[in-house]
Chains A and B, each alone.
Chain A
Amino acid sequence: MSLPSELPPRQEIGVIGWVRKNLFSSWYNIVLTLVAAYLVVTSVGPLLNWVFLEATFTGETAADCSGEGACWLFIGQRLNFFIYGFYPDALQWRIDIMFGLLAVAFAPQFIERFPARKWFGIFGLTGLPLIGYILIPGGWFGLEEVPSSRWGGLMLTLILAYVGILAALPIGTVLALGRRSDMPIIRGLCVVFIEVWRAVPLITVLFMASVMLPLFLPDGVNFEKLMRALIGIILWQSAYMAEVVRGGLQAIPKGQYEAASALGLGYWRKTGLVILPQALTLVIPGIVNTFISLFKDTTLVLIIGLFDILGAVQSTITDPAWRNVTTEGYVFVAFCFWIFCFGMSRYSQNLERKLDTGHKS
Chain B
Amino acid sequence: MKKRLSLVAVAATLAGTLMTGNVLASILDDVKSRGHVQCGVTTGLPGFSQPDDKGNWTGIDVDTCRAVAAAVFGSADKVQFTPLTAKERFTALQSGEIDILSRNTTWTLTRDTSLGLNFTGTNYYDGQGFLVSKKLGVDNAEQLDGATVCIQAGTTTELNLADYFRTKDMKFNPLVFDTSEQTVSGFAAGRCDVLTSDRSQLAALRSKLEDPSSAIILPNIISKEPLGPVVRQGDDQWFNVVKWALFAQINAEELGVTQDNVVEMKSSENPEIQRLLGTTGDMGEKLGLPADFGFRIVQTVGNYGEMYDRNVGPDTPLGLDRGLNALWSNGGIMYAPPVR
Contacting pair A77 B53 (CB below 8 A): yes
Q: Which residues of A contact B85 (CB under 8 A)?
A: 303-305
CB nearest to B91 among chain A residues: A211
Q: List 11 A-B contacts (CB under 8 A).
A: A86-B51, A152-B55, A215-B91, A215-B94, A219-B22, A219-B96, A222-B96, A225-B97, A305-B85, A315-B44, A319-B317
Contacting pair B84 A320 (CB below 8 A): no
A147 interface residue per 8 A CB criterion:
yes
Contacting pair B88 A316 (CB below 8 A): no
Q: How large is the interface on A (under 10, 10 to 19, 20 to 34, 35 or more residues)?
A: 35 or more
Q: Which residues of A contact B96 (CB under 8 A)?
A: 214, 219-220, 222
B81 interface residue per 8 A CB criterion:
yes
Q: Among the listed A85, A305, A326, which residue makes an inter-chain contact with B43, where contact means beta carbons less than 8 Å apart?
A: A305
Q: Which residues of B contact A240 (CB under 8 A)?
A: none
Chain B residues proximal to chain A, CB less than 8 Å: 3, 11, 14, 17-18, 21-22, 25, 43-47, 50-51, 53-55, 80-85, 87-88, 91-92, 94-97, 180-181, 203-204, 207-210, 316-318
A318 interface residue per 8 A CB criterion:
yes
Contacting pair A222 B55 (CB below 8 A): no
Q: Which residues of A contact B3 (CB under 8 A)?
A: 189
Q: How many whole Å from A187's CB to the nearest CB in chain B? A: 14
Q: Which residues of B contact A86 (CB under 8 A)?
A: 51, 55
Given contacts A80-B54, A85-B55, A218-B21, contact A149 B94 (CB under 8 A): no
Chain A residues proximal to chain B, CB less than 8 Å: 77-78, 80-81, 84-87, 89, 147, 149-150, 152, 189, 207, 210-212, 214-222, 225, 302-307, 311-312, 314-321, 323-324, 326
Q: How many whole Å from A244's CB to the nearest CB in chain B? A: 24
Contacting pair A218 B17 (CB below 8 A): yes
Q: Give Cα distance in the complex from A344 to B169, angstroms.
A: 60
CB nearest to B44 among chain A residues: A315
Q: Interface of chain A, helix or strand or loop or mixed?
A: helix
Contacting pair A211 B94 (CB below 8 A): no
CB nearest to B181 among chain A residues: A326
Contacting pair B14 A305 (CB below 8 A): no
Q: Among the listed A147, A316, A318, A323, which residue makes an inter-chain contact with B181, where contact means beta carbons less than 8 Å apart?
A: A318
Given contacts A147-B80, A149-B81, A218-B21, contact A80 B55 (CB under 8 A): yes
CB nearest to B86 among chain A residues: A305
Contacting pair B50 A219 (CB below 8 A): no
Q: Give Cα distance in the complex from A34 to B21, angstroms.
A: 74
Q: Which residues of A contact B46 (CB under 8 A)?
A: 318-320
Q: Give Cα distance in the complex from A315 to B181, angstroms.
A: 12
Q: Give Cα distance in the complex from A283 to B194, angstroms.
A: 55
CB nearest to B82 among chain A residues: A149
